[in-house]
Structure formats: structure tokens, C-alpha cells
Amino acid sequence: MKLGLFRYIIVTNIPKLRLIVLIVITVLFSCKEEETRTKLAQVHDKVLYLEDIADIIPEDVSREDSLIIIKNKTDLWVRKQSILKRAELNLSDEQKDIEEIVQDYRASLLIEKYKQEYLKQEIDTVIQENEVEAYYSDFRESFKLNQEIVKASFFKLKTNDNNINEFKKVFNSGNKDALEKMNDIALESAEKIENFQNSWIDITVLNDLLPKEIINAESFLKVSRRLETRDKDFYYFVFFNDYLLKGETMPLDLAKERIKIILMNKRKSNILNELEMKIYQNDIKNGNIKLFID
């Protein structure tokens, strides 16, 4: 019956016969080609062949160096395919809807999406104060100031203010309670008051408030805790409570936010490294990874 059908096709439909012959030849050639290719690794149903990465091996390298390159590339491919398979299984169809993008970019996106979903479930986003303090203690030399910082009070009064002479007298007195008295006077008539006594600010913040910037801030801060200047309409007064110079170690309260970012990034990196290793070892245990090179 089958033979009769085949004869019917030959006699009545020559173009179809040609198509069948071409398909058979193509299939046989593909099978033969696959048999002659050298397998390097397999992860689930994906296979890496030596011929797939031949182009990355320079022509002038030794056999030993070529083997190192092949092993490194194979290891990277295996790890990528391993976590890619997990990402494809765990992400929704909507999350995987990136088929129009180049395959390699698609794989990177899926892996990154899976990692972020995993982080949402696993990461503790609270950085404890003792962690920040410990990191600062261990790496304080990494936190250097790139400009002067100060704690200060700023006052701006009109040149014709009725209280200007009294304010100047208190400002220059050097008394321990001078700042409190200056605040009392300024509250009555000052054009502007800025209190930076309890928080560090860059010297540039003060420069923006003054009619002209402080020249050679380091030398000035070393010899004076007071600054008085004026323009046509106003007097400007700065009372410095504390300062740190460029190149000195940044205080903890300024370094704190940067340290929290560093610690969070380290925490993320550790979690993701553990995830990759767990998936990789699980695939090895279950026989999903096969290596064909020593």
C-alpha cells in the first residue's frame, strides 16, 4: 500500500518528488554534520559545540592557551544556560515577551529579571547602624573629603539696619553665648538666617550665600572662626562652629548614606552569587549539565 502511494507520487507529481528528495538529503546532511561536530557541554536540551566558539580562539596561541580559552568560554556558557533555564521556568510569559530582541540580549534580560524577582523575595533591605559603623571603622581611609566642610551659622542684615552695630559688637566679642545673642538680634530684623550648626555642609554652600566666595578656604579656616563681608545693600556674617579640611577623613554622618549603598550592593551580590552556585550545583546533581572536555 505504501509502495503504491509512493509510485503514485512519482508518476503524477514530479515537483513534489523533488521536494521530498531535497528534504531527505537535507536531513541526512544535517545528521552527518552533527555527528562530526565536537561537543563541549550540554545544559538541559542546549548543546555547545567546539565549532560554535572556534572564532574566539586566536590563530597564534599555543595549544595550552587555546584549551584555557575553551574551558573558560564553556564554563561561562554552562553557567549562563543553567540560570537561563531556571529563569525561563520561573518567569511568566509576559516577562519573557522579548522575542524580538537579539537572542543573547533576550537571555541577559530574562536572567536579570529573574535575579531581581529573587532579590525582592530574599533580600533584607534594612542596614543596621552597627554594620555601617563597622564598615566605616574598617575602611575609613577610603572616605576622604574632596573639599572643605563646615558647621556654621549665616546671617544677612541690611546695611542700614537699626541693630547692625549691636550685632557686630556681639559677633566680634568672642563670648561663649555670642551665637545665642546673635540669633536673638537677627530674629528681629535679619534679611536671612541659615543655621548649619548641627550638620556638615560643603564650603560651596556658604559661597553661594556670600557676595564673593571665600578665597583659600583652608588657610582662612585655620586662623579664623568668623567672616564678615558686605556689598552695597547688605552685611554678611558667618560664625564657624567646626570645620574639616580637604583630604581629611569624612565624618561618619556624611559617609553613612554612601556606606549603606555599598553594603546593600555587597548584600545583593552575595545573594545572587549564592543563587547562581545553587542552581549550577543542582543542575550538575540532576545530570542536566554534561561536559565533554577535561
Q: Is the pLDDT of residue 11 over 60?
A: no
Q: 3-state class of 144 per DSSP? A: strand
- pLDDT value at position 23? 39
- Count of structural domains within the chain: 3
Q: Is the pLDDT of residue 194 over 90?
A: yes
Pairing of strands 39-43, 149-158: unpaired
Pairing of strands 289-291, 234-244: unpaired
Which residue range forms the structural domain that includes residue 275?
A: 39-143+252-294
Q: Is the pLDDT of residue 200 over 90?
A: yes
d(CA 262, CA 227): 38
Residue 79: name the closest of 270, 266, 281 by CA.
Answer: 281
My answer on whether 53 and 136 are in the same domain is yes
- pLDDT value at position 203? 94
**Enclosing H/E stretch for 226:** strand 226-230
d(CA 274, CA 87): 15
My answer on whether 71 and 113 are in the same domain is yes
- pLDDT value at position 165? 92
Residue 201's φ and ψ, nearest 5 degrees, are -135, 155
For the domain that residue 70 is a member of, what is the CATH number? 1.10.4030
The model's confidence at residue 292, banded by pLDDT at 50, 70 and 90, is confident
- pLDDT value at position 239? 93
My answer on whether 178 and 83 are in the same domain is no
Residue 273's φ and ψ, nearest 5 degrees, are -65, -40
My answer on whether 175 and 230 are in the same domain is yes
My answer on whether 161 and 237 are in the same domain is yes
d(CA 293, CA 50): 10
Q: Is the pLDDT of residue 6 over 60?
A: no
My answer on whether 28 and 105 are in the same domain is no
My answer on whether 31 and 82 are in the same domain is no
The model's confidence at residue 12, banded by pLDDT at 50, 70 and 90, is very low
- pLDDT value at position 127? 95
My answer on whether 87 and 45 are in the same domain is yes
d(CA 32, CA 57): 25
- pLDDT value at position 98? 56
d(CA 158, CA 132): 45
For the entire predicted model, the pTM comes to 0.65
For the domain that residue 201 is a member of, what is the CATH number? 3.10.50
The model's confidence at residue 209, banded by pLDDT at 50, 70 and 90, is very high
- pLDDT value at position 100? 52
* Long-range contacts, stretch 228-233, CB < 8 angstroms, 24+ apart: 228/168, 228/171, 230/159, 232/159, 233/158, 233/159
My answer on whether 47 and 175 are in the same domain is no
pLDDT digits (tens, 9 = 90+) for 52-101: 988 888 888 888 888 999 999 999 999 999 999 998 899 887 776 655 55
My answer on whether 227 and 273 are in the same domain is no
My answer on whether 118 and 191 are in the same domain is no
Average pLDDT of the segment spanning 183-210: 92
Q: Retrieve residue 234's grid coordinates.
A: 547688605
My answer on whether 116 and 159 are in the same domain is no
- pLDDT value at position 108? 86
